[in-house]
Amino acid sequence: MKILVCGDIVGRSGREVVFNHISGLRKNMLLDLIVLNVDNAAHGFGITRDMAYQFLDGGADVLTGGNHLFDQKDAIGLLAGEKRFLRPANMPSIVPGSGVFETITSKGLKIVVVHLIGQVNMPIIGENPFFFMDKLLVKYQLGKNIQAIVVDFHAEVTSEKNALGHYLDGRVSAVVGTHTHIPTADERILAHGTAFQTDVGMCGDYDSVIGMQKNIAEKFIKGYSNNKTSPSPGEATLCGTIIDINDKTGLADAINSIRIDGVLHQST
């Protein structure tokens, strides 16, 4: 099976590039599942109900969030009523919604998507993601009662992302990082068969400062800024990764990053 994970969608231009390509990618790449990280979709901060359903009705199967998940007032209601919209699974159980989504493909293959948040330099407090996954994988055993397990790890530091990838190697199909908005060039299959990439990048305008307008640089020059930051409105690049998973073992056969349009454009 083939699964596409797209990194943080930032603002209008990020939404547009995803809407422009999502249907074609599913058809041309024969995708079985599409996961979108929508943590910055609504003007850079969270997502609204209308936007969420535009993505879901437009071809996405699962939406994940992150540290900006609760920046829009729609989040709580969405989490309570929409199983395809995930909050980090390792957040306290008192938080509405779930961070684990089960689905069955048209081929009858069972897939689980897990959304986690990191512990280092993140504003949302969650349970240790390593311990959380140990408990979850008692229920889901790759190649036995589940055909694929894909983890979106929304974390700040590369070391924590790398550590979780190796910790879960051979027990999940893929661990892909989101949050830092810059695609890393380390997509690979780890020693025991898990696909890994430290960060899949963002879907947004890269002629910017991680998707926001360049006046944000004032904060680094002066140490403060009175200007409100807004998403950069230029042509966006769709950044993501496509994971090929063996239907029998649940381990990865291949992982390939994609970049479409904008200043990071590459041919696919």
- What are the residue numbers of the active site? 68
Length of the chain measured in residues: 268
The Cα–Cα gap between 99 and 111 comes to 14
Question: By C-alpha distance, which of 42, 68, 46 is closest to 231?
Answer: 42
- Phi then psi for residue 72, to 5 deg, are -105, 140
Burial label for 136, CB within 10 Å (0-12, 13-18, 19+), is buried
Residue entry with tokens 């299959």:
189
Contacts 24+ apart (CB under 8 A), 24-31: 25/258, 26/59, 29/2, 29/4, 29/242, 30/2, 31/2, 31/3, 31/4, 31/242
Indicate the DSSP class of residue 229.
P
3-state DSSP of 49-93: HHHHHHHHHCCCCEEECCCCCCCCCCHHHHHHHCCCECCCCCCCC
Q: How far is CA 78 from CA 48, 87, 92, 200, in A?
A: 9, 10, 17, 25
